[in-house]
Chains A and B, each alone.
Chain A
Amino acid sequence: MSTAREVVLRATGLTKRFTTRRNVLGRAVERLTAVEDVSFELRAGKTLALVGESGSGKSTTARLVTALEKPDAGTVEVCGTEWTALGRSALRRERRRMQMVFQDPYASLDPTKMVVHTVGEPLLVHEGVRGQERDRRVADLLERVGLSARHLHRYPYEFSGGQRQRIAIARALAAGPDIIVADEAVSALDVSTQAQVLNLLLDLQRDSGLAFLFISHDLGVVRQVADHVAVMHRGRLVESGPADEIYESPREAYTKSLLAAVPEVSPSRRRERAGLVTESSTGEVVG
């Protein structure tokens, strides 16, 4: 079953360079390669996690995949359509297939808009739904994310961080996407709230076959949601594979050192981990 599922997102050879210095003529003299030759596939109903430290290129990759940034090389294909070849208006129509949930729910929601407008906007844009029909649809979406119809006419400031992230998820769902790109979507939440939102994402995936591109620096969180993991380091994919393989028998020294550095609550699991990773791979990387 799982291998037969269709590929909903395919990135091939993505490369992105940023100019960091220009000469007096305005020509680029120094460039930083943020992402180099990154390729991966995401299948319907599955979760691919992109992990790495700050500066590894995972967020740039997310911006390339969602066409917020143009790659210097490589292609992005979403549900069979090559996004990197589309014009602006065609891309606009396609965007509903892939929605994003961002890290900071205090910054990503418009503070001047009531929930019904924030969540209802994709319905208006993509389907022309308005009025009572919109209210009804938004109320349904709120219930799917664990909120209720009584929240329709409230403003973001009236909600906690976890509730705001639920609103952001409801807005993403409103477009009826095949893929949700979650960029550090639970990183700003407290553990107890974080667990609630992660369970919500897993429920949504099970009920509606959504695919997630899950970008996170938190390897504990990734362990709980990912089917496949791709490890990024200095703009490149250093290792990728099924989540169990990456966590239980990582091959690359970088992956090992990353796993070894994650603080673990349980002393017994800490010992298990120490057995997995040899001393040499935990060597100092000067920060």
Chain B
Amino acid sequence: MPDPANTEPSNAPALTIEGLRISAATEHGRVDVVDDVHLTLRPGRITGLAGESGSGKTVTGLAVLRLLAEPTLRVESGRILLGDLDLARLPRGELRALRGRRVSMVFQEPMTSLDPAFTVGTLIGEVLRRHLGMDRRAARERAVELLDRVGIPEPEKRVDSFPFQLSGGMQQRVLIAMAVACGPDVLIADEPTTALDVTVQAQILRLLRSLTDDGMAVLLVTHDLGVLAEHCDDLVVMYAGQVVETGPVDDVLAAPAHPYTAGLLAAVPSTARRVERLATIPGTVPPPHLLPAGCRFVARCPHAAPVCEEPVTLEDAGGGRSRRCARAAELDLEGVGR
């Protein structure tokens, strides 16, 4: 857990990404897959990162821990600030000391993330021994406490289980226990519940929420808008490698400022009522080597106008919100009822 002096949620950001640009080597040459991404994670808050496949949300998350598959993917410019440290420039050795200690990550598929050859206790203990220098016995005791903290029943028994003996939900809890073992400031969770059943998903998301009580900041990366609506505080929407909209989640959902956000919200199938015809966003996301110079959503946007052919920046809209739409001020987009 974080040290006591740090538990008060303050307004200082836990992590800031500024102007991040990441390129990828493709058959069409080196192209940008993430461009001009800005986001801020605050202590005790869950920030949702939304977007469809190919939007750059996963690459952004991986870049924070410098887990990009180099040299195919490469950070070209921008800063990733953890306090005074720029993670994008930090020497490898220093970075390794931070991973799992101050910034951690949880992935989608728990079974492929856990080493099947070791018990749960060993896996969690490894983190504690490496970063905090605990001995075997202390690490095991702490592992039991952590298993209890992430809601695993009979932790004294489970600590000796192998990953295959646990259900998917339990495995994900173990992974979270490993990630939070050293009380990191920031947790990046990339689609942590996508492989899980809905009832288990709800439990895992409640667990993430309870972990922020100690001041940890969470970046929740997911394509599931329902999950984001229910479980995050702030929302960042990405499209084709760029952030197109940010703000407090309820405000964004009630009155989206970007036509892409509005289109996504309309396309989500609700359990509440059957509609005559589902709203769709026509077309598909353009591939990175065929992006237009202006707004990247222009070819699919129902509100496209000549002004949209010009490059557009992410601009501050007040109320903690920002947007990347040349016509935002004149559009009145429909959200979901409050």
Q: Interface of A with B (CB < 8 Å)?
A: 53-54, 160-162, 190-196, 198-199, 202, 217-221, 223-224, 243-244, 247, 257-259, 261-270, 272-273, 284-287
Contact = CB atoms under 8 A, between A and B. Distances in A.
B227 interface: yes
B233 to A, nearest CB: 14
A191 B264 contact: yes
B167 A287 contact: yes
A286 to B, nearest CB: 6
B226 A195 contact: no
Given A265-B226, A269-B337, A190 B200 contact: no
Contacts of A220: 226, 268-271
B62 interface: no
B157 interface: no
A83 B132 CA distance: 63
A267 B274 CA distance: 18
Closest 8 CB pairs of A and B: A287-B169, A263-B226, A287-B200, A192-B281, A266-B336, A220-B269, A190-B52, A53-B197
A40 to B, nearest CB: 20
27 contacts: A54-B168, A162-B284, A190-B52, A191-B269, A195-B267, A195-B269, A195-B278, A220-B269, A220-B271, A221-B269, A224-B274, A224-B278, A244-B274, A257-B199, A263-B202, A264-B226, A264-B272, A265-B229, A265-B265, A265-B336, A266-B253, A267-B336, A268-B336, A268-B337, A268-B338, A269-B272, A285-B199
B13 to A, nearest CB: 27
Given A53-B199, A287-B168, A263 B227 contact: yes
B263 interface: yes
Nearest to B169: A287
B117 interface: no
Secondary structure class of chain B's binding surface, majority of residues: loop
A287 B278 contact: no
B92 interface: no
A264 B337 contact: no
A94 B47 CA distance: 53
Contacts, number: 140
Given A195-B278, A287-B170, A287-B196, A269 B270 contact: yes
Contacts of A224: 269, 274-275, 278
A55 to B, nearest CB: 9
B223 A263 contact: no
A35 to B, nearest CB: 18
Contacts of B269: 191, 194-195, 198, 218, 220-221, 223-224
A160 B284 contact: yes
A259 B226 CA distance: 13
A1 to B, nearest CB: 19
A258 B198 contact: yes
Nearest to A286: B153
Nearest to B171: A287
**Most chain-B CB neighbours within 10 Å: which of A160, A196, A219, A286?**
A286
A264 B270 contact: yes
Contacts of B227: 263
A265 B250 CA distance: 10
Contacts of B272: 223, 247, 264, 266, 269, 272-273
